[in-house]
């Protein structure tokens, strides 16, 4: 703050001096020079503050208005003192308003804008290290899924979790469903929210923002994401695609889970339990502990048994990872045949 104030003072004094010298000693030219210097230096300081703190557009607007009003008031003070109070000391005090009023207008405007933004969205903020934290909107699927609570426990998630009222209403509707399965899922979602609220690393905020003209909950969530400049936390693939098409950043829990799965490479061997028949003729299907599907060629006859397999290829999709393998005995037989010529 002291550095910025010093920069403004020096700029105004230089503008005053240059205006006085280039204007042949006329005070009017000195005032114009000081005013121009205040405008230029104040604009630079305002841009620097805005860039460093990543202020929202509304806050920038209030800051600009405050700065303009301060500059206008300081100009009026200087203009009036030139004619009504010719004393040198009074003029000197009036020149100080070229620094004080624009800067006060800027700071008060920014502070008022921040408070207004907070009352409207209650989502933005800085962490203790001063880094800007993007708010995160939680959709129904990721709340019911429950893994987000585990992520919060690890400390990887921080900042504000925003729960729109229409998401709570959907959870309430699911928990009151006549279908017992849906009812359990809805109550689980409410329990997960209660668990997250108790975590000190995150702040759960419930907001009333709604879009009455939009019927679908997913569409409302995307619009709210655009309005708040927030990220959407989900594991819904369709919502993921729609949000990204409209420029809303998405954090997909399934994609995170896939990224953390153990990496296997073609040629590696593993032992799996063949659980069921695959789609293609003769195929068997197994699953790893993390839920990854393993397709085994010619393993239909081994359903219900453990077999050794060799990885042939890996298919990564947004819905998950699939590992294609073949029986180790077949691979060994092919290698032996090739060695014998």
pLDDT tens column, 266-280: 888 999 999 999 888
Please check the confidence at residue 285 and state whether its pLDDT lies above 90: yes
Q: 160 with 135: CB under 8 angstroms?
A: yes
- Mean pLDDT for 61-89 is 70
Model confidence band, residue 85 (pLDDT cutoffs 50, 70, 90): low
Q: What is the mean pLDDT of residues 209-220?
A: 86
Say what the pLDDT of residue 51 is: 53
Share of the chain above pLDDT 90, in %: 13
Quick one: pLDDT at residue 87? 59
Averaged pLDDT, 172-200: 89
Query: Which segments of the chain does DSSP mark as H helices, in order?
Result: 2-22, 27-53, 57-84, 88-121, 140-145, 147-154, 165-175, 180-197, 217-228, 237-245, 253-259, 328-340
Higher-confidence residue of 19 and 203: namely 203
> What is d(CA 296, CA 105) in angstroms, rounded to the nearest whole number?
71
Asked if residue 205 has pLDDT above 60, the reply is yes
Instruction: Encode burial over 301-312: b for 16+ CB neighbours within 10 A, e otherwise.
Output: ebeeeebebbbe
Q: Which two tokens stand for residue 130?
A: 């001063």
pLDDT at position 128, please?
A: 45
**Mind giving me the DSSP string for 235-249?**
--HHHHHHHHHTT--
Topology given in CATH for the domain delimited by 269-340: OB fold (Dihydrolipoamide Acetyltransferase, E2P) (2.40.50)
State the span(s) of the chain assigned CATH 3.40.50.1010.
132-259
Q: Which residues pair with 315 in a beta bridge?
A: 322
**The pLDDT of residue 311:** 92
Please determine, for residue 84, whether its predicted confidence score (pLDDT) is greater than 70.
Answer: no
Average pLDDT (82-105) is 63
Looking at residue 123, its pLDDT comes to 46
Tokens of 226: 């655009």
CA distance 172 to 305: 44
pLDDT tens string 112-147: 765 544 444 444 444 444 445 678 888 998 899 888
Q: Quote the percentage of the chain above a pLDDT of 70.
A: 70
| CATH 3.40.50.1010 correct for 132-259 | yes
Contact 81, 90 (CB under 8 A): yes
Mean pLDDT of 189-212: 86
The answer to whether 199 and 156 are in contact (CB under 8 A) is no
88, pLDDT greater than 60 = no
d(CA 148, CA 269): 33
Question: Which residue did the predictor score with more confidence, 248 or 54?
Answer: 248
Question: Which comes out higher in pLDDT, residue 335 or 165?
Answer: 165
Sign of CA dihedral 88, 89, 94, 97: positive
pLDDT at 3 exceeding the cut of 60:
no
CATH 2.40.50.140 in the chain is located at 269-340
- Arithmetic mean of pLDDT, 42-48: 67
Beta bridge partners of 271: 308
Q: In the predicted model, what is the mean pLDDT of residues 227-232? A: 88
Q: What would the two tokens of residue 116 be?
A: 């207004």
- Average pLDDT of span 62-77: 75
């Amino acid at each position: 703050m002291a550095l910025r104030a010093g920069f403004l003072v020096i700029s105004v004094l230089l503008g005053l001096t240059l205006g006085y010298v280039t204007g042949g000693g006329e005070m009017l030219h000195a005032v114009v020079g000081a005013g121009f210097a205040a405008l230029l230096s104040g604009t630079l300081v305002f841009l620097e503050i805005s860039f460093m703190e990543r202020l929202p557009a509304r806050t920038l607007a209030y800051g600009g208005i405050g700065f303009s009003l301060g500059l206008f008031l300081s100009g009026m003070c200087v203009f009036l003192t030139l004619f009504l109070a010719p004393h040198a000391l009074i003029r000197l005090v009036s020149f100080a308003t070229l620094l004080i009023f624009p800067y006060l207008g800027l700071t008060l405007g920014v502070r008022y804008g921040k408070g207004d933004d907070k009352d409207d969205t209650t989502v933005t903020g800085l962490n203790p290290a001063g880094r800007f934290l993007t708010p995160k909107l939680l959709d129904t699927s990721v709340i019911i899924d429950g893994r987000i609570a585990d992520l919060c426990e690890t400390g990887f998630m921080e900042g504000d979790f925003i729960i729109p009222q229409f998401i709570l209403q959907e959870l309430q509707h699911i928990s009151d469903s006549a279908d017992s399965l849906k009812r359990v899922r809805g109550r689980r979602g409410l329990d997960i929210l209660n668990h997250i609220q108790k975590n000190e690393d995150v702040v759960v905020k419930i907001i009333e923002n709604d879009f009455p003209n939009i019927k679908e909950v997913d569409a409302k969530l995307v619009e709210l994401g655009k309005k708040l400049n927030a990220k959407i936390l989900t594991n819904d693939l369709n919502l993921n695609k729609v949000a990204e098409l409209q420029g809303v950043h998405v954090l997909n829990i399934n994609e995170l889970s896939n990224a953390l799965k153990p990496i296997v490479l073609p040629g590696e061997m593993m032992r799996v339990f063949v659980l069921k028949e695959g789609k293609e003729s003769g195929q068997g299907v197994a699953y790893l502990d993390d839920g990854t599907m393993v397709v085994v060629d010619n393993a239909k006859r081994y359903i219900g048994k453990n077999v050794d397999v060799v990885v042939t290829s890996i298919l990564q999709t947004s819905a998950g990872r699939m590992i294609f393998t073949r029986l180790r005995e077949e691979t060994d037989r092919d290698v032996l045949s090739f060695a014998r010529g």
